[in-house]
Structure formats: C-alpha cells, structure tokens
Amino acid sequence: MSKQLQAQAGKIFQAALRAADPEQAILRHVTVTDGVLIAGRRKYKLDRYRNIYVIGGGKAGAAMAAAIEKLLGRRITGGVLNVKYGHVKKLRRVELVECSHPVPDENGVAGARRIAEIAASAGSGDLVIVLISGGASALMPAPVEGITLAEKQAATRVLLECGAHIGEINCIRKHISTIKGGQLARLAAPADVLALMLSDVIGDDLSVIGSGPTTPDPSTYAQAKGILDKYGAWERTPATVRARLESGIRGEIAETPKQLDNVHNLIVGSNQLAVDACVQKARELGLRPLVLSTTIEGETRDVARMHAAIAREIVNTGRPVKPPCCVISGGETTVTIRGTGLGGRNQEFALAAAIDLAGTPNVVVMSGGTDGTDGPTDAAGAIADGQTIERASKLGLSAAEFLARNDSYHFFEAVGGLVKTGPTNTNVMDVRLMLITAC
C-alpha cells in the first residue's frame, strides 16, 4: 500500500509542477492582438514604443522570457535576466546570466549591474518588461556603494541561520541594494514598466516578491534594524551594513520609494494554482482532497508535527476528512540551523513528520519545493511513511540524531525517499502532501 501511495503522491506533485509552469503562466495572462499587448486589464500599443527591454531575475526567468519572446519576437530590443546556475533555456533576444542562489555571487552582481544600466537607459517612449520569480532577491545582488558582495553575503547568511522568514530577509536586502524595494522601477522612469511576477511568497505580497524591485516599499531603515535586533543578529552583521542602516535611520540617505506611477505589476502564477492542481489530481486518483492552507509558514519541525497530528486524527477517527484522502498544504516554512548537516526545509519536514508518524499505518507524507531544489541540495524534497523510522533503525540510524544536526538529506539518502526532479525552471514555494487510506 505504501508504494501505491508514494506513486500517487508523485503524480500529484507533478501536477503541481505543471500548473506552476512559468511559460504557460505568462501566456495565460499576457496576449498580443492587433499590435496591442494586453497584460491583465492593462493595454500597451506596441507601435508607440521605440524600444522594448526585457530585464529581471529569478529561477523561472528563462521560461518566462521564452514566453515573452513568443509574444513579441523581434519587437524586443534586448535584455538581460539573472537566473540560477542550470536554470537556462535557449533564447534569441534576451541574454541569461547564470549566478548563485541562495547566497549571491559576483556573476549576480555583474548581471544586476547590467540590468540596472538597461533600466537607467530607458526613457519616455520605451517599455521595460521586468520578469520576477522566486530567487530574484539573491540572484540580483546590487549592493550600494560602500558595501561589498562579501558583506552582503554575510548579512544574508546571518539571517538564514537565524531562521528569519523571506519578508524579513528582503527588508534588509532592500536597504542595502540599488535596485530592490522599488528602486529598479525608479531607475527606469519615465519609461513604462510592466512587471510580470511568479509569486513565491506567502500572501502574494508584491513588495516581498523578489524584494519588490518594481513596487513601492513600505519598509524602512528602522524596521531593517529592528529585524536584526529581533534575532540578536545586530552585532554579527557586518559593520558597513550596520552603518548604512543607522545612516538611513538618521535621514542621511533617501528611503526606498513609497510611490511609483510608471509601473503595472501583475502576478501570473502562485502557490494557489499549484495547490488547486493537486486537488484536481487527487480527485482523479480517487482521493478526497482537503486543503489546509496555502499560507503556512513557521518553523519546519513545528509545522511537520502539526501535519502529523492531523494524519493520526484521520487514521484514528476519520476527522476532518475520511480516507482515502489527500491532505494538501502550501506556503514556505523556515529552518533554524542547529547542526552542520545537509538538507532543506522540505526534507526536514518529511523527517520530522516521519518521526511523529512512526508505526502509523497507511500514511505517506511528502514535501517538495516547486523549484526542484531544497536548500543547498540536488533534491526537491523527500517522501516518508509510517515505516520509515523502523527501516532507519534496522540500518542502525537514529532519525532523532539526524534531525538534531539538520542532516535530513543524508538520512533519506541512506533510507530512501529523496525526491529529485532536477531544475523545474519555476518556483511558487512548497507543496506538502499527506496521503491516507483506510486500514
């Protein structure tokens, strides 16, 4: 039964990935008819533009750019997109710059500099199409003068290790960047800016997606400092970053823009669409779907225990949904790093859930990142069942010890259960599945 459930979980996860396909997401929301580009409710008469530039960044950038090239072809003057290493596609008009995620590198800096230059060169009568998807914040590092990439990397690492959520990390990034927090759109003014976004954040907050390079930024220097104070990370943050934030608090540096009049922002894909696809596929497989939420966040281990408790309730009482069923949730959790192991939030979720579900029959739990990469690993996530811990014990492995050192990757590598999809060229956060059948 476990093998059947695992196969079904794989099919449901693949349905989520298809729904999050960035090229199709663009083509669902953007069309060209009689020389008019229609994006949502906004229309752009293409003949009135001297130049059309395509810029931006993110793991889904290559596929999104492919869709724009299909729509506009030779009308595109040129452009540059920063994408994660390996997340590439053959394009004709737009150049891809491969760079590092989640920790930025010099390739990202060089690409971001070129993106900023293209934006700054645009003028009245030009259209700048900005493509933003998951990972854009790290993939478009443009540190302000006086802060090096190494110092920006250090600040990012500190926050990641503290378990800060993406909105908090992006708040810091915006205030030590030349393009985040609406500043890319400010560079492009007075050109028209059309930003197409594949959302990878809870609640689809425009100002958080990719650190909001084309959206007004409600956050402040004071809030950025407050985040570092909250996690006790102020003294561990590079002195140049602290000096920048303090200077901003004193009003010596201009704040990020709070209003932008030249921009239209449009979300073309989200976690909600991926979860909806899971619901449909579960029904096709004869499973009753139950969506918990698409906005789940928090510490991964705590979220895993909550999911495991729901699975046990279903097994024992048939509440809140009767087997055979598929419980689905979306969003993105965080991991507070306590050890030196290898893993990611999805693999850690599966491991923590497996511990709480040990011995529970007829349950399979799976968690996967829609970008195909979970943390600094080649796995998208992991899958486990009620017998996973027993199999580990027979191999002389302690699941609790692996969890304590954040070593979920090596645990599932030994026991079996790693989910590897390769780069998916998309990212709409994570999908978690629990498949349960009657005893």
Mean pLDDT score of the chain, rounded to an integer? 95
Give pLDDT, residue 170.
Answer: 83
Q: How many CB atoms lie within 10 A of CB 302?
A: 11
Of 153 and 379, the one with more pLDDT: 379
* pLDDT classification of 413: cutoffs 50, 70, 90: very high
Distance CA 417, CA 322 (A): 26
pLDDT tier at 395, thresholds 50, 70, 90: very high
Residue 247: which residues within 8 A CB-CB, separation 6 or more?
A: 221, 253
Q: Which residue is listed with tokens 């498949």?
A: 435
CA quadruple 64, 66, 71, 74: dihedral, nearest 10: 130
Mean pLDDT of all residues in 3-30: 95
The mean pLDDT value for 81-109 works out to 93
Q: Indicate if the pLDDT at residue 340 is higher than 80.
A: yes
Q: What is the mean pLDDT of residues 386-393?
A: 97
What mean pLDDT comes out for the span 272-277? Answer: 94
Place of tokens 């030994």: 414
pLDDT at 360 over 80: yes
Give the CATH number of domain 22-269: 3.40.50.10180
Residue 93 CB coordination number (10 Å): 17
pLDDT band at 1 (very low <50, low <70, confident <90, very high): low
The predicted model gives 220-235 an average pLDDT of 96
Tell me, what's the pLDDT at 208?
A: 86
Average pLDDT for residues 30-54, to the nearest whole number? 97
How large is the C-alpha radius of gyration of the chain? 22
> Above 90 in pLDDT, residue 390?
yes
Q: Which residues contact 109 (CB under 8 A, 6 or more apart)?
A: 141, 142, 143, 149
Q: Could you say which of 3.40.1480.10, 3.40.50.2300, 3.30.1120.130, 3.30.450.20 is the CATH number of the domain covering 2-13+272-436? A: 3.40.1480.10
| Tally of CB atoms within 10 A around 231 | 17
Neighbours of 45 (CB within 10 A): 10
**For residue 156, what pLDDT band results from cuts at 50, 70 and 90?**
confident
DSSP state of 341: -
pLDDT number for residue 439: 67
Give yes or no for a contact between 303 and 296, defined as CB atoms under 8 angstroms apart.
yes
In this predicted structure, the answer to whether residue 86 has a pLDDT above a threshold of 70 is: yes
Sign of torsion, CA 340 342 346 348? negative
Query: Quick one: tokens of 350?
Result: 């599966």
Segment 115-128, tens digit of pLDDT: 999 999 999 999 99
What per-residue confidence (pLDDT) applies to 101? 87
Q: Which two tokens stand for residue 234?
A: 């102020």
70 vs 75, 198, 229, 259, CA distance in Å?
Answer: 11, 18, 47, 32
Q: Where are the domains of the chain?
A: 2-13+272-436, 22-269
Position 157 pLDDT exceeds 90: no
Q: Give the model's confidence band at 106: pLDDT under 50 very low, under 70 low, under 90 confident, else very high.
A: very high
Complete DSSP assignment for 346-404: HHHHHHHHHHHTTT-TTEEEEEEETTS--SSSS-SEEEEETTHHHHHHHTT--HHHHHH
Measure CA of the first residue to CA of the last residue in the chain; give whole Å.
10
DSSP-derived secondary structure for 21-77? -HHHHHHHHEEEETTEEEETTEEEEGGG-SEEEEEEESTTHHHHHHHHHHHHGGG--
Res 36 pLDDT > 90:
yes
* pTM of structure: 0.82
* DSSP label at residue 94: S
Amino acid identity, position 371: D
Contacts (Cβ under 8 Å, ≥6 apart) of 52: 46, 72, 75, 76, 77, 126, 127, 128, 129
Looking at residue 209, the DSSP 8-state letter turns out to be G
- For residue 278, give Cα distances in angstroms to 13, 203, 244, 361, 383: 7, 19, 45, 23, 16
Share of the chain above pLDDT 90, in %: 88
Going by DSSP bridges, is the β-strand pair 30-33/381-385 parallel, antiparallel, or unpaired?
A: unpaired
The DSSP 8-state label assigned to residue 196 in this structure reads E
pLDDT, one tens digit per residue, over 286-303 is 999 999 999 999 999 999
Asked whether the predicted pLDDT for residue 166 surpasses 80, the reply is no
Residues with Cβ < 8 Å from 239, sequence gap 6 or more? none
